[in-house]
Chains A and B, each alone.
Chain A
Amino acid sequence: MSFDVPDDLRYLDTHEWVRATDATAEIGISDFAQDELGDVVFVELPDEGAELTAGEDFGVVESIKAVSDVYAPVSGTVTAVNDRLRDEPELLNEDPYGDGWMLEIDLTDESELDDLLSPADYRDQIE
């Protein structure tokens, strides 16, 4: 089975993705991650203004029989939260790189992006 790994994103080995634009970034979980989880039924995310630290968990994704922590690929301050996930957690399954985005943050240190996996490396990891 092949999973979608968009070329314009960077990845964490725990299956989170980052879409960086200048000093801000969007964060979500990968197509592979949503498939592993199965039907997502609940997403717990931090509030706007929360501080994320690279490598530390910031939220929880629940399916029927599993609970998974979600880790911050990079450090930053949360500037927007995808509130639609509250009532429509299925967006994580249906469109993990689009409507299923989780957070938008202001990056603390753009150089942290260099520590993340390239699409090719991430593809190698999940195959």
Chain B
Amino acid sequence: MSERETERGSPYAPQTAAETTAMLDAVGAADLESLFDVPESVAFDGEFGIDARSERETKREVARLLRRNADLTEFLGRGHYDHYVPSVVDDLAGRSEFLTSYTQYQPEVAQGFLQALFEYQSMLVELTGLGVANCSMYDDATALGEAATLSQRVRSVSGDRILVPGHLREGKRAVLANYADGPGLSVESYPMDDGAVDVDALADAIDSETAMVYAETPTVRGVVEENLGAIGDLADDHDALFCLGSDPVALSLLERPVDVGADVVVGDAGSLGTGTAYGFGLGMFVTREEYLRQVPGRLVGASEDAADRRAYTLTLQTREQHIRKERATSNICTNQAWVALRTAMHAAWLGPDGLVDLANECVTRPRDLAARLDEVVGLQAPVHDRHHFREFVARTDQPASAVAGDLLDEGYAVSEVGEHLIQVCATETTAEAEDGLVAALSEVAK
């Protein structure tokens, strides 16, 4: 299609002028406009003022805009992580049969995607030890929100207090607050002790009005939580749900959630399969089988077809909005299925060996980098005397804003998390940049 032709209409509406005429004749319409049954008083006869472009021009336009993003080496984490995604994931997930398909309401022609989602659910079941994984929520924050509303629906739990850790990403807490608002839940923080849950303080805070206790491992500061079992016991003693936040890479190495008494596991499963994508994520949601009927979102199950072969289908849909309407477990419809497909592909590409190796590297790399930074004049790292996963907090003698700002000028991004605190995230994708970061910090931190 020539660039001039795009002025005439949508390049993706393929009817020729002759076909359009023939079709209008067939329906007995004089022209295209007469097909619209819009009262004149609300008809729009203006212009949007958006110029059409050729495909090449559109690409150049986006390139021109995005070129304004600074070229930085990112040591950023705090809930959104960069792991190397192999090309085969892009290649396979990009197949149009996956990418351009719809929700699997006709399972006979969607066996491929259904099986892939079934495999994704199964991987999460293995990683968590819990029996039921749904095939995605939007992101970890909305998954946490859904866990809170689940606690409200579960009969064995009463009360309206949702307890969350003092160290929690602000955006996640804000989303949770919105989900909690409808059912009238209150979100309250409990204190941390040197970056981990202060179990004694939590014991003081929890009571019979607590519907759910939320904890994370690793925390938003990268701390590996050491008292999960005690937190699970506290929740259990008060008939509250224990919701654990984590991610598939961490779960490949850390304690199994089922072993510490977790009732629900949420988090960003997109840490596998997506890489950095400006916060684009994949909400992981896994829970115990006894809460099956209260699970939000779609579930893929195995069944048989008329030839008695194993087949897959969306199931237990009576929980969902299109059937249960205002009594549905959630309003979610469109989810992140394609991201889940990518996550499953990436996990399978790594295999259990690769996952465990990657998770171990997520422990050793920040440990080693923190040790190097601790040698730098003007820095102490890590601030928390704990095990870390992917990231850690360092104390700066200079104001953190000045250190982080000066680092930007050197081409490195770290997070500023306090007046004299910066946070550094290190994964395999930053391996080659660490020397440079140490050198730059040696200049700007002193």
Contacts and interface: CB of A to CB of B under 8 A. Distances in A.
Q: How large is the interface on B (under 10, 10 to 19, 20 to 34, 35 or more residues)?
A: under 10
A106 to B, nearest CB: 23
Please classify the interface of chain B as helix (H, G, I), strand (E, B), loop, or mixed, using the class held by over half of its residues.
Answer: helix
A64 B318 CA distance: 7
B293 A67 contact: no
A86 to B, nearest CB: 12
Interface string A61-92: 01111110000000000000000000000000
Contacts of A62: 318
Interface residues of A, number: 8
B293 A66 contact: no
A42 interface: yes
16 contacts: A42-B293, A42-B318, A44-B293, A62-B318, A63-B318, A64-B317, A64-B318, A65-B317, A65-B318, A65-B323, A66-B318, A66-B323, A67-B318, A67-B323, A67-B324, A67-B327
Interface string A28-61: 0000000000000010100000000000000000
Contacts, number: 16
Nearest to B322: A65
Interface of A: 42, 44, 62-67
B372 to A, nearest CB: 58
Nearest to A60: B318
Task: Rank and list the top 10 A-B pairs by shortest CB-CB distance, nearest first.
Answer: A62-B318, A67-B318, A67-B324, A65-B323, A67-B323, A66-B323, A66-B318, A65-B317, A42-B293, A64-B317
A44 B318 CA distance: 13
A63 B324 CA distance: 12
Contacts of B318: 42, 62-67
Contacts of A66: 318, 323
Contacts of B327: 67
A44 B324 CA distance: 15
B325 to A, nearest CB: 9
A42 B317 CA distance: 12
B108 to A, nearest CB: 15
Given A42-B318, A65-B318, A67-B318, 13 more contacts: A42-B293, A44-B293, A62-B318, A63-B318, A64-B317, A64-B318, A65-B317, A65-B323, A66-B318, A66-B323, A67-B323, A67-B324, A67-B327
Contacts of B323: 65-67
A62 B327 CA distance: 13
Interface in B324-351: 324, 327
A69 to B, nearest CB: 10
A63 B317 CA distance: 10
A42 B323 CA distance: 15
Contacts of A65: 317-318, 323
A66 B327 CA distance: 12
In this complex, the member of B293, B318, B324, B327 whose beta carbon has the largest number of chain A beta carbons within 10 angstroms is B318
A16 to B, nearest CB: 20
A36 B318 CA distance: 16
A67 B324 CA distance: 7
A67 B293 CA distance: 12
Contacts of A67: 318, 323-324, 327
B57 to A, nearest CB: 48
Contacts of A42: 293, 318
A120 to B, nearest CB: 34
Interface in B244-301: 293
Interface in B39-77: none
In this complex, the member of A44, A63, A64 whose beta carbon has the largest number of chain B beta carbons within 10 angstroms is A64
Contacts of A63: 318
